[in-house]
Amino acid sequence: MRKLLLFAFILLAACNKESLTHKFNGSVNYTIEGETIQIVDSASGSEAKWTYLNNPSNGYALEAYYAKPGGEVLYRILFYIKTNTIETGRNYSPEVTGTILRNSTDYASTQDIEGTSITIQFNEQKDQTLTGKFTGTLKNLTTNEFVEVSGAFDHVRLIK
């Protein structure tokens, strides 16, 4: 009986330890030039996160990427919001810059590239995750054409 209780205790401890270390798989989905891309955090070769940065200025950065085995990045999205706080329901636009890499093509939106913009809205902040959506007009840096991007991030972890 004692051996059975010991086994049950070890099993219970192992289950609790696993539930504490289990990562929630946040995701970033977006459409650019008619192609829909999904990046799921913690999937093999991918990551999605919001990070608070205080250098060179205070702000939040969304980074999501997918890499092939071996490390070559196929898709990457980097958005930066120059703000000290995240407010749900607010549209962030003038303070947002960003880039998208799709295969070997770069797209960008900055204050220096006329005609580009990105709008981000946070719908929910729960525990250490953020959920929201974004739209924008970016410039293809190879062809100099403007493209529309739209997408959402769902339960992407926030790192402060």
What average pLDDT score do residues 8-26 get?
Answer: 42
Model confidence, pTM: 0.83
The DSSP bridge pattern shows strands 73-81 and 117-126 to be unpaired
| Confidence band for 73, pLDDT divided at 50, 70 and 90 | very high
C-alpha triplet 134, 124, 126: angle, nearest 5° = 135
Give me the residue spans of the domains in the chain: 24-159
Q: Give the whole-number percent of the chain exceeding pLDDT 90.
A: 76
SS3 for 2? helix
Quick one: three-class SS letters along 3-61? HHHHHHHHHHHHHHHHHHHCCCCCEEEEEECCEEEEEECCCCCEEEEEEEECCCCCEEE
The tokens describing 116, both together, are: 């580009």
10 has pLDDT over 60: no
- Cβ contacts of 63 within 8 Å, gap of 6 or more: 47, 48, 49, 51, 76, 77, 78
The residue-averaged pLDDT of 99-104 equals: 96
Question: What is the average pLDDT score of the chain?
Answer: 86
If one compares 59 and 20, the residue with the highest pLDDT of the two is: 59
pLDDT exceeds 80 at position 17: no
CA Rg value for the chain: 19
